[in-house]
Amino acid sequence: MKQVISSENRPIKLWLDDIEGNALSQAKNMANLPFVHRHVALMPDAHSGYGMPIGGVLATKGVIIPNAVGVDIGCGMCAMRTSLDDADTETLKQIMSRIRKTIPVGFNWHKEAQDIKHMPRAEELPPIVERHYEKASKQIGSLGGGNHFIEIQHGSDGKVWVMIHSGSRNLGKQVADFYNKKAKQLNERWHSAVPASYDLAFLPIETDEAHAYINEMNYCVDFAFANRRLMMERVQHAFMDVFKGDVMFDDLINIAHNYAAWENHFKENVLVHRKGATRARLGETGIIPGSQGTRSYIVEGLGNTESFESCSHGAGRVMGRKQAQRELDLKSEIKKLNDKGIIHGIRHQKDLDEASGAYKDIDVVMANQTDLVRVKVELEPLAVVKG
């Protein structure tokens, strides 16, 4: 831990030295909520979000806050180690070509619904999920946009790895928007003491609305995992095609970083909201990606109680998307990747929203959380597909 701010009703514990002003204001709003458990925790990649900083961890007693989970419910990472020791540029290009043919990226999705076996099962679909189920069945197995990616990497263990960052596509957003709006309406009706300006409207856990949101949120977490799993299957097929079946794969590692879950911390059962934060229980395997062109990490959690057993979910932004497109130098960002021999898709100024210059230094981020995780494998990027 780097510092503690004690000026609010509850302490704010930070795993970073410098935090942008808006993110700090959001953290102070959280620390003044009447149902906060113990303190607020900010991971080393923390930066401003909607209502709550990305990289924030908030434990609550008796309520759940849709906006403290966010719109991309279940967004997370998966990674898989292959039996390959290396892959040359031409081979990587062949693999990436096959990936692009089978996995839609950005705003694109499949023209036809995918096999129902890939969709999460439920005895009864929650109402918002049911309303958008048909569209979701065409979006499963697609990457989405923003900072989502598929990356082929070379590990410090001498093996080639595959890593995917993706979420619940439009399904999670529909659920998040519906219940955040519902929470705002109810908070206004109850004359809630939580200012509307915080954008942290809550649902008391005993209400039907809270039960409904948790049910829908959990389905979206399962859908996001199913989405990553299907994409990873298709990446495996791409490898198998190129290597004529002469490649094997280890078990899939999967983690989410946008969700809320019941956990026991400091001897109380509380709802832990992680918005751009990864659970890091003692001995638990996790994934921390870098920015485009920088290292990523397979880590092992140290179970730090002060962070509610959490760690960062990535490097964390230092520039908004539009700011990066305005201020970063296209030639310089391309040169960074080319000098490392990374196959990438940065071609135009608009692509700079996800350039490494828009993100924090992953080395600093990792150095700030040595009390949260232990690095197991360092992963250097070889080729990347961005959403």
- The catalytic site residues sit at 313
The answer to whether 129 touches 171, Cβ cutoff 8 Å, is: yes
Please give the single-letter amino acid code of residue 170. N
- Chain centroid to CA 120: 19
Query: CA angle, corner 351, sides to 295 and 71, nearest 5?
Result: 80
Q: How far apart are CA 167 and CA 288, in angstroms?
A: 15
For the chain, how many residues are written?
387
- How far are the Cα atoms of 14, 77, 133, 142 from residue 129, in angstroms, in the given order? 36, 22, 6, 18
Please give the single-letter amino acid code of residue 250. D
Q: How far apart are CA 353 and CA 231, in angstroms?
A: 24
Q: How far apart are CA 273 and CA 341, in angstroms?
A: 39
Among the listed residues 380, 387, 345, 374, the one whose alpha carbon sits nearest the alpha carbon of residue 161:
380
Q: How many CB atoms lie under 10 A from the CB of residue 332? A: 11
